[in-house]
Amino acid sequence: VNGLQARTFGVWTLLSSVIRCLCAIDIRNRTLYYITLFTFFLALVHFLSEVFIYHSAELTIGVMAPLMVASFSILGMLIGLQYLEVEEMSQNKKKN
């Protein structure tokens, strides 16, 4: 890894964490919720491709940890999305 690659990965990680923190603050913002969900999909695809397609990483604990975080986060956010939709529908009924 050269310096440019390390800095690019660092900026990508920082950007993802800022998006995720903003979603935690305003979890009812549907657009932000989908963007946050996409960051977890992107991380999962990235690490899986590095292991299984490019073979630039081995399946060690250093790679398994982000894979597990991304997988569980995707699962949790998909479950949470159903609750957001139910809440939105109930708020629409109250308005009518």
- CA dist 31 to 3, 4, 6, 18, 43, Å? 34, 31, 29, 15, 19
Note the pTM of the prediction, 2 decimals. 0.87
pLDDT score of 1 more than 80: no
Total structural domains in the chain? 1
Residue-range definition of the domain harbouring residue 87: 3-95
pLDDT in tens, 37-86: 999 999 999 999 999 999 999 999 999 999 999 999 999 999 999 988 88
Q: What is the rounded CA–CA span in Å between residue 18 and residue 68?
A: 20
**Degrees to nearest 5, angle at CA 55 with 20 and 75:** 30
